[in-house]
Amino acid sequence: MPELPEVETSRRGIAPFLEGQAITRIVIRDRRLRWPVEPGFERKLTGTTIESVDRRAKYLLIRTGRGSVILHLGMSGHVHIVDTGTPAGVHDHVDIELASGKALRLRDPRRFGSLHFSATPLEHPLLAALGPEPLGPDFSGRHLWERSRGRRVAVKQFVMTPQVVVGVGNIYASESLFLAGIHPKRAAGRIAEARYERLADAVRTVLKKAIRAGGTTLRDFYGGDGEAGYFKQELAVYDREDLPCVNCGDPVRADVIGQRMSYYCVRCQT
DNA sequence: CGCGACTCCTGCCGGC
DNA sequence: TGCCGGCAGGAGTCGC
């Protein structure tokens, strides 16, 4: 669920409920996330007022007068707005209760997500070394080309590295490489700058499209329907093993690259 | 430093 | 129908 588009969709969904609200109480039912939630987390935030909800990479940043909540949803995390006092499910680990009577609730069955507090979140060790935002001004084919010189890893793994560029997860790596016509196993250091320009364009195109589809997901999300994937219909290769390539009709291949399942067209991607 | 393997955890799906 | 193995949209960490 939490690809960059879904995190961005969540941000847009929750921000109106949070901004300007005082935090009245924080309830943590299970501190065992990817890293244990630090003692004193609640104390540092209770009584402060939320100024904005931002996003950096796949991290949500809830900014308050005293510092920021740094929230990562991992593989299975969701945030949603509930009325304070709504009974919590087994995997509803954290509530941030607001003066309005609403609460931000974090649900994360696999507990791969994380929750931190920092006065200077962009300098936090988890965020300090991150690469550029794919939809921001610092991301380009030139950037990918420069960073990939001398690298022998498969380009798919390269483009999924958060220190290279953030927000390109397993789905969008496959989709972007298909759109750019680049074979996912090709060594990152052996791809010309012009092809990286095409890849950068493809990443931007795919992510923007997914964010638009994510807007639709949001309604389902709040309706408690889960994220019945409307953007799933738009996927060209991901999860389409043996189905015809939308471009040439050859069967889509599925293959493990760097311990992650990958999908591509042998004829269209070189 | 780069790279590949491993790790955390639960839910769900397909196959038998 | 029920059980079981395998796999899942992330990414830090470790050993070489």
Residue A142: both structure tokens together: 């030139």
Rounded CA–C1' distance between A147 and C12, in angstroms: 21
Nearest nucleotide to A130 (CA to C1') is C11
Catalytic annotation on A58? yes
Which pLDDT score is estimated for A234?
A: 86
Mean pLDDT score of chain A, rounded to an integer?
93
Q: Please state the rounded mean pLDDT for residues A38-54.
A: 98
Residue A207: both structure tokens together: 């992510």
- Contacting residues 36-55/A vs strand C (CB within 7 A): none
Helical spans, DSSP H, in chain A: 4-18, 41-45, 125-128, 141-148, 155-159, 170-180, 193-222
Rounded CA–C1' distance between A96 and C6, in angstroms: 36
Higher per-residue confidence, A228 vs A265: A265
* pLDDT tens digits, A210-239: 988 864 443 334 333 344 557 777 899 999
Could you tell me which of A111, A18, A10 has the C-alpha nearest to residue A68?
A18
A229 touches strand B (CB under 7 A): no
Q: What is the DSSP letter of A153?
A: S
Which pLDDT score is estimated for A156?
A: 98
Which pLDDT score is estimated for A257?
A: 96
Phi-psi category of residue A260: left, alpha or beta, with phi > 0 → left and psi -120 to 50 → alpha: beta
Nearest nucleotide to A75 (CA to C1') is C10
Decide if pLDDT at A72 tops 90: yes
Residue nearest to nucleotide C12 (CA to C1'): A126
A31 touches strand B (CB under 7 A): no
Catalytic annotation on A152? no
Name the amino acid, one letter, at A30. Answer: D
The rounded radius of gyration (Å) of the Cα atoms in chain A is: 20
Which pLDDT score is estimated for A14?
A: 96
Which band of pLDDT confidence, cut at 50, 70 and 90, is reported for residue A166? very high
Catalytic annotation on A132? no
Q: State how far the Cα of A95 lies from the Cα of A113, in Å rounded to an integer.
A: 15
* pLDDT tens digits, A106-128: 999 999 999 999 999 999 999 99
Quickly count: other Cβ atoms within 10 Å of residue A93's Cβ: 24
Beta strands A92-98 and A23-28: pairing type?
Answer: antiparallel
CB-proximal positions of chain B, under 7 Å: 2-11
Residue A236: both structure tokens together: 């060209």
Pick the CATH number of A141-264 from 3.40.109.10, 1.10.630.10, 1.10.8.50, 1.10.3720.10: 1.10.8.50
A56-to-A85, A123, A133, A177 alpha-carbon distances in Å? 30, 12, 8, 23
Q: Please state the rounded mean pLDDT for residues A184-190.
A: 98
Q: State how far the Cα of A112 lies from the Cα of A262, in Å rounded to an integer.
A: 22
Which pLDDT score is estimated for A3?
A: 82
A58 touches strand C (CB under 7 A): yes
Pick the CATH number of A4-128 from 3.40.50.300, 3.20.190.10, 3.40.190.10, 3.50.50.60: 3.20.190.10
Which band of pLDDT confidence, cut at 50, 70 and 90, is reported for residue A1? low
CB A183 within 8 A of CB A264: yes
CB-proximal positions of chain C, under 7 Å: 7-12
Which pLDDT score is estimated for A2?
A: 80
Residue A69: both structure tokens together: 């909540």
Q: Please state the rounded mean pLDDT for residues A34-41.
A: 97
Catalytic annotation on A3? yes
Q: Please state the rounded mean pLDDT for residues A45-64.
A: 98
Identify the active-site residue in A56, A58, A105, A195.
Answer: A58
A190 touches strand B (CB under 7 A): no
Domains of chain A, residue spans: 4-128, 141-264
Which pLDDT score is estimated for A112?
A: 97
End-to-end CA distance of chain A: 29
Which pLDDT score is estimated for A228?
A: 52
Q: Please state the rounded mean pLDDT for residues A89-112.
A: 97
